[in-house]
Structure 1
Amino acid sequence: MNKKIPQRMCVGCQTMHNKRELLRIVKTPENKFLIDTSGKKAGRGAYICNDKECFSKAYKEKRLEKSFKMQISQDIYDDLQSRIFSNE
């Protein structure tokens, strides 16, 4: 029997991808935001493709803020941007 691969929606392009292919941003129970490389940290998660266009769209349209229903610090965007743009 094949094991089911979890799917998540990218906040940038709004398409479904395998969970392992996406970057996870987590809002911890203490209302801190982290980039979760393990995918296992406790808290509410949002996912984004490791792609410049997805990041630009999510940033411009404030899609992470909408997903978490609160303001996100520029530090998280800067960290995300450096991770995404350094991979290409």
Structure 2
Amino acid sequence: MAQRKVPMRKDIVTGEMQPKKELVRIVKNKQNEVSLDPTGKKPGRGAYIHLNVATAKQAKEKRTFDKAFGVTLADEFYDELIAYVDHQVERAKLFGNGK
């Protein structure tokens, strides 16, 4: 059986290419609202970040998504992102990564 191609995306914070399943998508819609997109299917411009708490904290320090989307985001958005990433990392430890 032929092996399937693994979709790769670039982490906006580190600049590294990662498998899409190891990233979380952040999306900006036409109303300039920025939100987490756990499904990866929301309409709008997307950017990806690795499921790593240190990377999420680095994004908050550098205000990465403010620059990427050209908007000013509240600290609460970055706090929500860090909490979401932390939750996903802990979930993967408990339940495995779904393979």
Q: TM-score, normalised by structure 1?
A: 0.85
Residues 74-83 or 20-29, more deviating: 74-83
State the AA in 2 paired with 1:53.
A
Structure 1 segments, 4+ long, off by >2 Å, are 1-6, 85-88
Residues 55-64 or 31-40, more deviating: 55-64
State the distance in 2 between where 1:75 and 1:53 align.
17
- Tell me: higher relative CO, structure 1 or 2? Use CA pairs within 8 A at least 6 residues apart: 1
Which structure has the bigger radius of gyration? 2
Q: Is 1:57–2:58 an aligned residue pair? A: yes
State the distance in 2 between where 1:35 and 1:75 align.
12
Q: Is 1:37–2:38 an aligned residue pair? A: yes
State the distance in 1 between where 2:5 and 2:86 align.
30
Q: TM-score, normalised by structure 2?
A: 0.77
* Number of equivalences: 88
**Is the Cα–Cα contact under 8 Å of residues 32 and 71 in structure 2 kept in the other structure?**
no
* Unmatched runs of 5 consecutive residues or more in structure 1: none
RMSD over aligned Cα atoms: 1.6
State the AA in 1 paired with 2:48.
Y
Residues 32-60 of structure 1: per-residue CA shift (max 9 Å, x gap): 11110110110011111110221122111
* Unmatched runs of 5 consecutive residues or more in structure 2: 91-99
